[in-house]
Every structure is written in C-alpha cells, then in structure tokens.
Structure 1
Amino acid sequence: MSVITISREFSCGANEVAALVAQELGYEVVDKELLSHIAAEAQVSEAEVERFDEAGMTSLERFLRVLVRFGVPEDALSWSPGPLRESPLWLPPPEQWKQEGSRLLDHEECLRFTQVVLRKLAQRGRVILIGRAGMMVLRDLPALHVRLVAPLQWRVQRLAQMEAMPLEKARQKVLAEDKRRAEYIRQFYKVDWNDPTLYHLTLNVAELGIETTAHLIVTAARRFFGIAG
C-alpha cells in the first residue's frame, strides 16, 4: 500500500502540486472524483453528497440531532419547501420519500461513507487523496500525510487572478473555505487542522513554488515507501 494524503489551505495550489507528484510517481489523484465514489457507495446522487462535502454541521443541525437523540421522532421535524431546497436541512415532501432517487444523507452518514471510501482507495494503493481529513481517517495506515499552506494574501491574489474576481470577493471566499474545512475537521475529528503533529510534512507553497513543493513530496514519498528512483 502506498498512499499520500494532502491537507490544504484553500487556493494554495494543492491540485497542481498533486498532479505533478502523481505524474512523477505514477499515482492517481482523487479530489472531487471522491464524490462519485461516495455517491456509488451510498447509492445516492453526487449532488446529495456534495451538500456535505468537507462541511461541518450548523448549530441548528446539531440542535435537531440532539432532539432526535432525546427521543423526538425524525418525522416530527418538518421539511422546508421552496427556496430552502438547497439547504442541508431540506427534506422533500413525505410522499416523495419512498420514490427512487429520493434517498437522503445526513452529515454523520456521509462522514461514514467518506471514511469507507477513503480506506478502500488507500487499500488499493498508489493514490493521492486530497482533503476530507485523510490524515485522520488513515491515521492507522502507513500513509504519508502532507499539509500545504501559503500566506493569506498570496492565496487571495492567486484566486482573484485565476477566477477574475475582485480582491475583496476573493478574500471572503478564501476565508470562508478555510473556515468550512477547519470546522469540518474540528467537529468530526476533534483536532485543529493546523496542528503540525498531524503531518509528516508541512510545506509553504508560496515560498517554495509549485514544482519544488511537488519535488519535495516525491522525494519524501520515495524514502517513506521505499520506492526506487
């Protein structure tokens, strides 16, 4: 088995780095493709999985879950029609619950399927897993855990340039995505994703550049997994 997990701050070039590492080592990169794997495992649509992708529960969702644990039946919690359809709390009308394709996930169920899929991919080997708390899910396996970071302003400027958006809008998006990912890991794994002890390598992409960052990961992987080259 040989698997690399990459935890990344938003807009730090993780996908570009992973692509170079994969090309050099002959590995497969799994990032957004993971959604299709999870959807197949859970037998739901990719859109259903995407609602929970690297997202923690809101305070309202946590409150509703507490109610269920204290015996309030789930069918007593009303559904929200109309514009709230995209909310993680939205439920279709009861008459649609049994229809094909209407199966719904919640955060904890999606988390379980994510963990199952990550471990299956890891067992297959020769794979780079981006995000989804891979460093926690595969903690007991011989995986190389990498953290990619970069200064906030560098990431903001990079996003603004790549997506042709104003700097302030890019800044808001970077901060929101970082917060969402950090909260996901804090809620479900009770750790701070910035804790350096969770990783074998923490690399500053802004200082090193995409190619050097990838080269360092390749070198570490060859040593870690005993790969000739």
Structure 2
Amino acid sequence: MAVRIVTISAAFGAAGGLVGPAVAERLRLPFVDRAIPEVVASEIGCTLEEARTHDGRAESGLGRILAGAARLPVVALGGMDVIPNRDLVPPEEFKARTEDVIRRAADTGCVVLGRAGALVLADRPDALHVRLDGPRERRMVRAAAEMPPNRDASAPSGTLYRDVERMLVDNDRARTAYVKHFYGADPADPRLYHLVIDTTRLPVPAAVDLVVAAAGTI
C-alpha cells in the first residue's frame, strides 16, 4: 500500500526545505511546514511571532522553548478578537497544538517537515519516516552555498563560514533539545526512520527519487 503521509526530519544544511516540497509535489500531497505555527497561533490566541518562537523548525528563538510565553492583548484573527489573557502559555500547549495540527493534516495525507513528525505519527502504518542528514562540514558547505548573495563585500574572508557554523550549531542544538525535551528522543537516531539519506552526498533530485520510491513500497 502506498503511503499518504511522509514525515521528514532534516538537520541544518541537509536540504529539508528543498526535498520536502519536491516530494510533496511528486506525491501530489500538501506540504505542511510554515502553515503549522500560523494555525497554532490562531488556535491558542497568540501572535504568530510567539508561535514561531515555540516552533520546532524556527530559525531563531528556539532557546526559549522551555520558557512560558505571555499572551498579548486583544489580537484580531480572521475577524474575531481573542479574549485578552495575561496567564502564561506553557510550552506544552504549543507542543500539543502542533501535534493536533500534524495529526489532522495526516488524516487527509501530507508531507510534513520537522516538528518531531516521526514521533508524533509513529503509530501510523501509512506513514513513511525520513531523516536527511550528513557530516557537519559538508552540511556547512551546502548551507553556505544556499546563503543569499547580499553579503557585505568588505567582510573578511571566512566570515561567511563562521556565521554558517554558528547557525548550524545553534539550530542543531535547538532542534535536538526540542525533541529530547518533549519526546525523550534524539532526532538523529536512525531507528526512528524508515529511510536515512545523506543529502550532502546525493543531489536533491536523487534524494527526492529515493523518498518517492520508498513511499510506494510501504
């Protein structure tokens, strides 16, 4: 039976943002990524920025996932005002809402990136769980190549790689902390996945082909 759900866990610099949408397009499934914090924000009644701070795929602010976030005053969402609430919103609520969004999307089929999807949907026999990873140095090279070209031309040589290295360390540590804190697991553990791909060695199209082929065999 061909799967209708694909979860993709990707280390920083492992091309998750490229492989995920391409797999979704090939399988004709919705790609679930940026919409998750938007739905979580609307359901909790907080700002989108606040939800992103607690999101497992956020590029910044993940060091705050263990801290509560205060609701802000009345916020208009879809024409409805959220009742002000000064109580702290525990990180567990953001996590629970994120799981709800993922499970609802899975019921109709989807490709979901990050957010410990392989653990959230571990009991789904119709799900394929994929990990994208690679050696740290090679992930740094890939990430540096994907950086926008609008850097300061006067910056010393090597600055880009120092910046990328800092981003890689921060993101890897934050995403690992998120999964370990909420699920007691290591996102790099290959036992969580049906398929692990080194996307620093294989080009993106080849990685996409592997995932699509695997999705048709489970």
Taking structure 1 as the reference length, the TM-score comes to 0.76
Separation in 2, partners of 1:202, 1:4: 13
**Are 2:91 and 1:117 equivalent residues in the alignment?**
no
Q: CA deviation at 1:141?
A: 1.2
Separation in 2, partners of 1:141, 1:157: 35
Partner of 2:157: none
Q: CA deviation at 1:146?
A: 0.3
Of structures 1 and 2, the larger Rg is shown by 1
Partner of 1:50: 52
Unaligned runs of 5+ in 1: 62-87, 225-229
Name the structure with the higher strand share. Answer: 2
Q: CA deviation at 1:37?
A: 1.9
Partner of 2:168: 174
Partner of 2:187: 193
Partner of 2:17: 15
Partner of 1:131: 114
Partner of 2:28: 26
What's the % identity of the aligned pairs? 31
Off by >4 Å, runs of 4+ in structure 1: 88-92
Distance change >3 Å, CA 90–CA 33, structure 1 → 2 = closer
The answer to whether the 8 A contact 2:131-2:193 is kept is yes
Partner of 1:75: none
RMSD of aligned alpha carbons: 2.1
Unaligned runs of 5+ in 2: 57-61, 76-83, 152-159
Q: 206, 216, 219: which one pairs with 2:213?
A: 219
Name the structure with the higher helix share. Answer: 1
Q: 195, 199, 204: which one pairs with 1:205?
A: 199
Count of matched residue positions in the alignment of Structure 1 and Structure 2: 190
Q: CA deviation at 1:158?
A: 2.1
